[in-house]
Amino acid sequence: MRFEKGHKAATRRHIVEVASKCIRRDGAAAAGIGGIMGEAGLTKGAFSPHFGSKESLVREALASALASQQNHLDQDRQDGADLEAVIRSYLRRAHLKYPAEGCPSAALLPEIARQPLPTRMAYEEGMRSYVSALAALLPITDAEASRRRATAIFGLMVGTLQFARAVPDVAYAEQILEGGIEAALHLARAPYSGD
């Protein structure tokens, strides 16, 4: 059977998109090739022409999720969002409920730490890009200090979301989100000592 030009590339992109959601929802270890391919509307046998291993798919899916998160932040910045709006958007109730659509860090950090080096390097590249965009929203003029502060703020946001997702009491989860927002804003507004 002959396919139109670009079919293979489009199929690969579709598999990566589906895998990106599956690994954020289920975890990289639990998301099996058969399940991912089934959700993509393909057979397990269609995997091999596109990827050499599950590891390569996980790496691409993670990079895709990070790029999507970066695009969302870039769009918010273009629309004039300040750091408070970005923090509030990240720590919103909808983000709590839908990990498959959300931050790959909050969904996968413990697993990323156990992935092979190429996957961790892909994660670091995407995370550094996101942190740099956050740093640009801070009033700190020292680039290194701004990056460090943005890294701490992002870590606080990710940890807050992880805690809130872990508790079954919805009201308590929302309190955790509000506390995280307050703490992140406090950190964002803290004076820079210049040391």
Query: What single string gives the DSSP state of each residue in 13-73?
Result: HHHHHHHHHHHHHH-TTT--HHHHHHHTT--GGGSTTT-S-HHHHHHHHHHHHHHHHHHHH
As a whole-number percent, the residues of the chain with pLDDT over 70 amount to 97
d(CA 95, CA 73): 14
Q: Assign 192 a pLDDT band (cuts: 50, 70, 90).
A: confident
Position 6 scores a pLDDT of 73
All domains in the chain, ordered by first residue: 7-189 (1.10.357.10)
CA dist list (Å): 94 to 90, 91, 158, 174, 177: 9, 8, 15, 11, 11
Position 194 scores a pLDDT of 67
Query: pLDDT digit string (tens) for 138-184?
Result: 998 899 999 999 999 999 999 999 999 999 999 999 999 999 999 99
Which residues 6+ apart lie within 8 Å of 22 measured at CB?
31, 35, 36, 39, 61, 100
**Mean pLDDT computed over 11-24:** 93
Average pLDDT, the chain: 92
Position 50 scores a pLDDT of 85
CA dist list (Å): 137 to 76, 91, 114, 124: 11, 17, 31, 20
- pTM value? 0.89
- Decide if 35 contacts 22 (C-beta within 8 A): yes
Q: Assign 1 a pLDDT band (cuts: 50, 70, 90).
A: low
